[in-house]
Structures are given as structure tokens and as C-alpha cells.
Amino acid sequence: MHKKIDMTRGLLVWILLAGVLSTIGVSVFSVIYTNSVQKQAEHRSEKARELADYRWCSLLETVDVPGQVNQIKDPVQRQRAQLYYARLHQLRVELRCVTK
């Protein structure tokens, strides 16, 4: 009878150990998988953002014509136009439509 109790305790220890180790294994796998999926999602959203930014390039290229500033006679309007074109060009650089 004493041997049967020892086997039961030994089996119980192995079952508990297996349960604890499997829980830890599943937890580690879940963390690794979640990180992997999150990186993939970030990569996809970055690509989508780049594509959306690039779509603006043709429009910004059409309106970014700073040579017309010199034709403006009013100094206030000329200064405003220069600021407008400087900011427009900076936006094109930020969107990587052109280099500086």
C-alpha cells in the first residue's frame, strides 16, 4: 500500500510539473508570436503610409512653381508667396518627393 501512495505522489508531481512547464511554454510562444504579428502590422502600415505620402507628390509637384514669385509686384504678397513655396517645398522633401 505504501508503494502505491509513492507512485501516486510521483505521478502527481510529474503531472504538476508538466502542467507548469506547458503553461510557461504556451506563454513564451504567445509573447513571441504576438511580437512577430505586431512587427508585421507595423511594417504594413509603414508601407501604406509611404504609399499615401507618395500619392501627394504629383499634386505637390504641380503647384510647386517658385519661379512665379518674382512676377508678383506687391512686396507683402511676394513675401507670402515665398513663404508658401518654401513650406510647400519642405513638405515635398519630408514626403521624399524630392531631395533638398
Interval 21-39: pLDDT, tens: 999 999 999 999 999 999 9
For residue 2, pLDDT beyond 60 = no
Mean pLDDT of the chain: 85
What residue spans define the domains of the chain? Answer: 1-55, 64-100
Grid coordinates of 8: 501516486
pTM of the predicted model as reported, rounded to 2 decimal places = 0.50
The C-alpha angle with vertex 69 and arms to 65 and 72, in degrees rounded to 5, equals 140
Distances (CA, A) of 27 to 15, 59, 70: 18, 49, 66
**20 vs 59, which has greater pLDDT?**
20
Q: What is the pLDDT of residue 58?
A: 82
Q: Pick the most confident of 27-36, 50-59, 73-82, 83-92.
A: 27-36
Alpha-carbon span 71 to 81, nearest angstrom: 11
Alpha-carbon span 20 to 85, nearest angstrom: 65
List of E strands, 1-100: none
